[in-house]
Amino acid sequence: MKAYVQHKAVKHLKKVDPLLHAAALPHYETVLAKGMHRRNYSKLFAHLAGSIVSQQLSTKAADTIWGRLKGKCKGEVTAETILKLRITSMRSAGLSAAKIKALKELAKAVQSGEVDFKKLAKLPEEEAITTLSSVWGIGRWTAEMFLMFALLREDIFSLGDLGLTRSMETLYGIPKDSPKAVYLEISEKWSPYRSTASRVLWRLRDTKSYR
């Protein structure tokens, strides 16, 4: 018997959403493994900075720019190294003016204590999202992805993620671009494991494996 069948999220999804559970069976092991790494507070700034860099870019382009930025930061992207970088140096890495401003504002917020990752980890979801979204250049989607993948919050559902809603439309036969309430109603039954359900849906879309 595979270890994942005893996972609380798997048991919950099997009970409340048999359709999603059946589609997820081939993918649980992969999905759950990605959510089991330990939270490393020292890397959280870099994780969020990386999310800013990758906005509206292909994975290849984002990786290239991130590599250049990391090089200019001497291998460690931190609030301190970002604040020390000249704007011209950041531009030469391939960053737009908006992303440079967002990175600088994030660095300032972290240094001032406006954004404290350890405190953020303990805040309720909406409060944490509001705190992150108060930083220039960080929107709700970026904040939600940070909570899910960096802070390992278990109950995050991003209504603004197009890949997620498209996957739901395919699995549940929902008309394209239905009212938001339709997606939210389905997601509510996954709680408190909406993050696992979301990872499953992304995985189904990536592998195009629906049952």
Distance CA 69, CA 94 (A): 8
Cis check: omega of the bond before 18, within 30 degrees of 0: no
| Token pair belonging to 17 | 């959403």
Assess contact for 79 and 173: CB atoms under 8 A: no
Please indicate whether residue 63 is annotated as part of the active site.
no
Give the phi and the psi of residue 196 in degrees, each rounded to 5: -65, -45
The C-alpha angle 126, 129, 131, rounded to 5 degrees, equals: 110
Assess contact for 34 and 4: CB atoms under 8 A: no
Assess contact for 30 and 22: CB atoms under 8 A: no
Active-site hit among 155, 161, 177, 206: 161
Distance CA 170, CA 88 (A): 45
| Token pair belonging to 123 | 């805040």
Distance CA 65, CA 108 (A): 21
The C-alpha angle 133, 37, 45, rounded to 5 degrees, equals: 35
Active site residues: 161
